[in-house]
Chains A and B, each alone.
Chain A
Amino acid sequence: MNTNAIYGLVAQGVIVAMVIRFAREIFGRKGLARFGMELWIPAAIVLIVPIAGISIAQHLRGLWGDPSIVTFLLLLLYVVRPSSLPSRPRLSTCVLVSLFVMLPLFLPLFLMTPSMPVDLYSIGWHPTWILIALAVIVAISISLRTITPQWINFIAIALIAYSGGVMESDNLWDYLVDPGLLFTIAFLALEGVMARLRGRTLKSNLNT
């Protein structure tokens, strides 16, 4: 099994662990949760237990492919160390990420006709301009104090993974963004809102 396959299969396990953790946030700790095993047992099942001859992870991989490195890191942090995640992404972060995802990924397929020559996704095979753009965006974001070191780390790790060919894709966009990133960002924002609501409820209970 090569690096691409290992990354892809582990990523499916992390996606499943994330879903279970989120379910635990909603429904509370029950059963195995008290032993802290609730995330990793299903994740391991997904990786190992076969259905129709192949593991569930391989089914999931065929269904939605491999997540980008940035999405993978966000999900992994959410599963193993949620306290280190930005609890509620800023609106500017959401807009920036959405633009980064929407422009190269969705526009070419849904809005552009075949006769339109601009295909931003294709830049990802020769990503010099993406690298320059990333450096400029990070520099501006630091000067405006709108980016945390954590996000810079995510981008840096994605670039290092790209240089090592960790994913199947040879296109840099696929390391940085994917459709799932939009959902992940929205999910994290929702998580933040829920945490704030829980905080308010606790505060009002204490006041009464």
Chain B
Amino acid sequence: MTHSPSSLRWSLTLLIVGLVAAGLHSRGTIENRFATATVVDAPKKESAIALFLPIEMPRSTPSAHASSAAFMPDGSLLVAWFGGTREGADDVAIQMARVKDGRVQDSWISLTCQQLEGLTHRVIRTLGNPVVWVDANGLVRLHVVSVSYGGWAGSSVNQLLSEDGGKSWSSARKLILSPLLNLSTLVRNQPVTMEDGTLGLPAYHELLHKWGMWVRVTTEGRVLQCERMPSNVGELLQPAVVAISASDAVAVLRNTNTAQPVIGRSATADGGQTWELMAPLDIPNPNASVCMIRLLDGSLLIAANPLASGRNVLQLFRSRDSGASWTASRTIERSEIGGEFSYPSFAQSADGMIYLSYTGQRKVIRLCAFNTAWIDAGDNEKAAMESAQ
């Protein structure tokens, strides 16, 4: 192979420039520490009276699914879901509603396929699984799944910013998380705030194999890290992550393995840098989404469909030992076989009220609010009944 020495010298100079520039661009280490809320014995404003309040949500499309909720700085709750004629249809849009004082104040179509096309400069055929996150300044970040061609296996995750409470979107960025054409990356549950202001986004992959992913992403949408969550009880996806301390977090995952249909569990002790597979929970899982929240008193709460098959029961489970053991708690919904109350999502207000949104029969999003006193009362009733037996 012959070439002139001068051209080789020029190329090597360019390479050195490239290596130095790339090295500088990627320098620095990630701060792997969770921003954890301080645990309080009992929230000051929380009522000791058991409260449970169903909230009627708007129904504007024949199909509605996969809600996500987050609180705005003014105390109102922002709920997002995807709705259209059917899941996967090209008229599916991200719908939003704002809830305050137990009532829906406003609802609107927040993001359409055409709007996301304009923001990301690529064809978008359908949308799914919106996840909302609101910062202290009221800026709303939306992570939303989009499909250009094919089904959910061909999906990818986009991050968008809204400065007007979810009415309009800007700064859209497609998150490149998968090596082969960025196929099959999705989100379902809410991100965890990190100490350095970045987000830890639980995501998942479902082409050929399924696994959970832990994605560190800046609020501008720059991906800093993406780690796989291990799996051996089956094929686990849709992780729901809560931070226990600055370095520890627990994840519960939907299990697609019908031979061992229980909720999967993973944990990290180094701020999400590595994830260890833990023994699965003793809670059945019919290949259905699970959500988890750390309450103000430090206990953990799961909402899940605790059946080997079917999604016709939606029930709460609580852990007071950072997820090591769980006890069955209140049942939110129960219907005949064939019914569906699925894809739950939690949010807790500053006064301790817990809001749970979920899909009802794939047609409507349901929302209810309750407090820990209501959960405790149910637990006490159950314990009394068990002791009486």
Interface of A toward B, CB cutoff 8 Å? 1, 4-5, 8-9, 53-54, 58-59, 61-65, 104-106, 108-110, 112-115, 117, 119, 121-122, 125-128, 131, 134-135, 138, 142, 145-150, 152-153, 155-160, 162-165, 168-174, 179
Contact B181 A65, beta carbon cutoff 8 Å: yes
Chain A, residue nearest B27 (CB): A128
Residues of B at under 8 Å CB distance from A?
A: 1, 3, 7-8, 10-12, 14-15, 17-19, 21-26, 114, 117, 120-125, 148-149, 173-174, 176, 178-182, 207-211, 222-232, 235-236, 277
Q: A125-B224, A128-B26 are in contact. Are A115 and B231 (CB under 8 A)?
A: yes
Q: Please report whether the interface of chain A is mostly helix, strand, loop or mixed according to DSSP.
A: helix
**What's the Cα separation between A117 and B22 when bound, in Å?**
26
Contacting pair B1 A148 (CB below 8 A): yes
B174 CB to closest chain A CB (Å) equals: 5
Q: How many angstroms between the C-alpha atoms of A62 and B146 in the bound complex?
A: 10
In the bound complex, do residue B227 and residue A114 qualify as a contact, i.e. CB atoms below 8 Å apart?
A: no
Min CB gap A186→B, angstroms? 17
The contact of B176 among A61, A108, A162, A170, by CB within 8 Å, is A170
Q: Report chain B residues within 8 Å CB of A165.
A: 25
Assess the A149–B11 pair: CB atoms within 8 A: yes
Are B182 and A65 in contact (CB-based, < 8 A)? yes
Q: Are B223 and A114 in contact (CB under 8 A)?
A: no
A156-B17 in contact given A105-B180, A131-B23 (Cβ < 8 Å): yes
Is there contact, CB below 8 Å, between A122 and B22? Answer: no
Closest to A106 in B: B180
Task: List 6 extra interface pairs beyond A8-B122, A162-B22, A168-B176, CB under 8 A.
Answer: A104-B179, A114-B209, A122-B227, A149-B10, A156-B17, A169-B223
Q: Are A61 and B14 in touch, CB under 8 angstroms? A: no
Interfacial chain A residues near B21, Cβ < 8 Å: 159-160, 162-164
Instruction: Determine the residue in chain A with the shortest Cβ distance to B182.
Output: A65
A-B contact pairs, 29 of them (CB 8 A): A4-B173, A5-B120, A5-B121, A53-B114, A53-B117, A59-B123, A61-B122, A61-B123, A63-B149, A109-B179, A109-B208, A114-B210, A125-B26, A128-B23, A134-B19, A142-B8, A148-B1, A149-B7, A155-B18, A156-B15, A156-B17, A156-B19, A159-B15, A160-B18, A160-B21, A168-B174, A170-B224, A171-B176, A171-B223
Residue among A131, A158, A170 with most chain B CB within 10 A:
A170
A134 to B, closest residue via Cβ: B19
Q: Which of A58, A127, A142, A179 contacts B22 (CB 8 A)?
A: A127
Does the CB pair B179–A121 fall under 8 Å? yes
Q: When A5-B121, A62-B149 are in contact, do A168 and B173 touch as well, CB less than 8 Å?
A: yes
Q: How far in angstroms is the closest Cβ of chain A from B272?
A: 13
Q: Which of A53, A138, A142, A168 has the most CB of B within 10 A?
A: A168
B26 touching A126, Cβ below 8 Å: yes
Task: For the complex formed, measure the closest distance between the CB of B236 and the CB atoms of chain A, giving whole angstroms.
Answer: 8
B228/A131 in contact, CB under 8 A: no
Given contacts A131-B22, A157-B18, contact A58 B122 (CB under 8 A): yes
Please give the distance in Å from B381's CB to the nearest CB on chain A: 41
Q: Could you tell me if B11 and A122 are in contact, using CB atoms closer than 8 angstroms?
A: no
Q: Report the minimum CB–CB distance from A197 to chain B (whole Å).
A: 23
